Chain A
Amino acid sequence: TQLLEQSPQFLSIQEGENLTVYCNSSSVFSSLQWYRQEPGEGPVLLVTVVTGGEVKKLKRLTFQFGDARKDSSLHITAAQTGDTGLYLCAGRMDSSYKLIFGSGTRLLVRP
């Protein structure tokens, strides 16, 4: 059973479209991180959210942490081909420093 569920698993969109990726859990996390991963490379950290209800923006990317700290979303505005990749959410619980990852959302932005 996956502790963090990501949806959708795959997403193929046209350049310029908007999209939202979801990360859901029944567990409470003390912090949640979003990463992007290219094939054959390690995940690259995009953002960390810590406070329930927190919203962070990184250029065209908007990240939100749910009020109850059980879920998060990533919204991309006007997607570009360079946004193509695997998007991973990862949560940390109070009891440990390890990250628990979702299975990822594979995004393809077509020109």
Chain B
Amino acid sequence: DTGVSQNPRHKITKRGQNVTFRCDPISEHNRLYWYRQTLGQGPEFLTYFQNEAQLEKSRLLSDRFSAERPKGSFSTLEIQRTEQGDSAMYLCASSFQVQGYEQYFGPGTRLTVT
């Protein structure tokens, strides 16, 4: 069990560019979550998947954000036309339905929009 992995770990982009992040959950975990964390704050929920179905989205997830989990395994989070306010740590977590409550986080992708 290698834990949740995220790529890239760091991304610097210019305002207006599109970026895509990838998350590979712990194998056999059927739930996958995306959170965003800004400096000095706790993570904020963005969206979650059960298998390939996206079951809940936060109002924080504007039209410029889209997340997919096409085969119920890895997930991608794309941000279009990035803005400076998108600069944050993007965290992915996964959990196993039967165990219910416990979410395990990856190391995060740090996005800096210049």
Contact = CB atoms under 8 A, between A and B. Distances in A.
Interface of A: 4, 31, 33, 35, 40-45, 48, 50, 88, 90, 92, 96-104
Interface of A is mostly: loop
Interface string B13-49: 0000000000000000001010100001111110010
Contacts, number: 65
A43 B91 CA distance: 9
Contacts of A101: 35, 42-44
Nearest to B43: A101
B42 A40 contact: no
Contacts of A104: 41-42
Nearest to A96: B56
Nearest to A92: B101
A73 B77 CA distance: 34
B54 to A, nearest CB: 12
Contact of A88 (B4, B40, B42, B110): B42
| Size class of the B contact interface (CB-based, 8 Å) | 20 to 34
B103 interface: yes
A48 B108 CA distance: 21
B10 to A, nearest CB: 9
Nearest to B50: A97
A51 B44 CA distance: 24
A96 B40 CA distance: 25
8 contacts: A42-B105, A45-B103, A45-B104, A97-B56, A99-B43, A99-B45, A101-B42, A104-B42
